[in-house]
Chains A and B, each alone.
Chain A
Amino acid sequence: SQQGEEDPQALSIQEGENATMNCSYKTSINNLQWYRQNSGRGLVHLILIRSNEREKHSGRLRVTLDTSKKSSSLLITASRAADTASYFCATDVLGNAGNMLTFGGGTRLMVKP
């Protein structure tokens, strides 16, 4: 079953605009991660935010985490056509042993040149 639900399911913006994607999850987590996937290929790890962190930056990416609302957001600033992809949040659920991620349904982002 999917732990996270992402919103919106699809997003279309112009190059240079910012893109914001949201993720909600159901149970307590150790950390939350964001991944990008281009056209049904492998996933690329973007950023990991721990449950005791509230905000994290990496280049043009900004991730926030609100554990009280069980939600996270991914902001991509100054988007480029190359950012066109599907973006997934994945949670490492508290209590799970080892490496086991539960993914959301993803947001399909299209950046128009």
Chain B
Amino acid sequence: KAGVTQTPRYLIKTRGQQVTLSCSPISGHRSVSWYQQTPGQGLQFLFEYFSETQRNKGNFPGRFSGRQFSNSRSEMNVSTLELGDSALYLCASSLAGVRQETQYFGPGTRLLVL
């Protein structure tokens, strides 16, 4: 079974631009979560989607948004990019999005904002 895939793997943008990242969960998984990893703030939860609905949202500004499609694939969008948005963005999928359930992480998308 294929793992979680994220595209693109690397991205360079300039301040003020917007970016869309994509995550394809493991087949059959319905929950997708997004995390931002930076050297300064570490790993921080962005949001979680389950059955096309946002179920949880972390403490990030409204410039960060996401959505999930009927096939469980998810996208996150960052508008009006800032230098501080440079990070590794990780998505994770799980089968039913319930507690005590293993989350499987993708390889991440590394975003550099110049």
Contacts and interface: CB of A to CB of B under 8 A. Distances in A.
Contacts of A98: 31, 48, 50, 55-56, 97
Contacts, number: 74
Given A43-B90, A105-B42, A100 B100 contact: no
Contacts of A90: 43
Contacts of B88: 40
Counting contact residues on chain B (CB < 8 A from A), the size range is 20 to 34
Interface in A5-41: 30-31, 35, 40-41
B68 to A, nearest CB: 13
B66 interface: no
Given A98-B50, A100-B33, A42 B56 contact: no
B31 A41 contact: no
A45 interface: yes
Interface of A: 1-2, 30-31, 35, 40-45, 48, 50, 88, 90, 92, 96-106
